[in-house]
């Protein structure tokens, strides 16, 4: 189950877990929420973040921009990464991936990434 914490100013923190030996989180419903930041854990096997999206919460596909480039966030341990909310404004369900679609990076232990969202 996702840990949801109201941190004030209409910001909600959603815990997104990558299990040990995996590279992707479970899906998270973003209805009425817009991603505005990502807080990385203090332990992280080096990898950027990429994303999968779904309209129904069942079928996920990789997220690309209008130029055909996979959406990649430069990630590292102990980072608070500010995200332009427009990037994910039309995503109803989201998954976070360690690495890219072509080269996922397995995390060596459970990792909790905090997805910061603004209630709309």
| Confidence (pLDDT) at 66 | 93
Mean per-residue pLDDT of the chain: 94
Q: Can you tell me the distance from the alpha carbon of 49 to that of 40, in angstroms, rounded to the nearest whole number? A: 10
Max distance between CA atoms of the chain, in angstroms, equals 37
Domains of the chain, by residue range, sit at 4-119
Answer whether residue 1 shows pLDDT above 50: no
Architecture of domain 4-119: Sandwich (2.60)
Answer whether residue 94 shows pLDDT above 70: yes
21, two tokens:
């030996």
Q: Rounded to 5 degrees, what are φ and ψ at 101?
A: -60, -35
pLDDT digits (tens, 9 = 90+) for 33-51: 999 999 999 999 999 999 9
* Beta strand segments in 41-103, E: 49-54, 61-62, 80-82, 93-98
Contact of 55 with 83, CB cutoff 8 Å: no
pTM above 0.85, yes or no: yes
């Amino acid at each position: 189950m996702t840990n949801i914490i109201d941190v004030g100013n209409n910001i909600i923190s959603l815990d997104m877990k990558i299990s040990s030996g995996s590279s992707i989180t479970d899906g998270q419903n973003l209805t009425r929420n817009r991603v505005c930041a990502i807080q990385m854990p203090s332990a992280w096997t080096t990898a950027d973040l990429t994303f999968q999206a779904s309209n129904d919460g069942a079928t996920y596909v990789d997220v690309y921009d209008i130029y055909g480039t996979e959406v990649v966030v430069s990630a590292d341990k102990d980072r608070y990464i500010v995200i332009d909310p427009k990037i994910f404004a039309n995503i109803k369900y989201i998954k976070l991936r360690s690495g890219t679609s072509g080269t996922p990076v397995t995390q060596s232990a459970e990792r909790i990434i905090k997805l910061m969202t603004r209630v709309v």
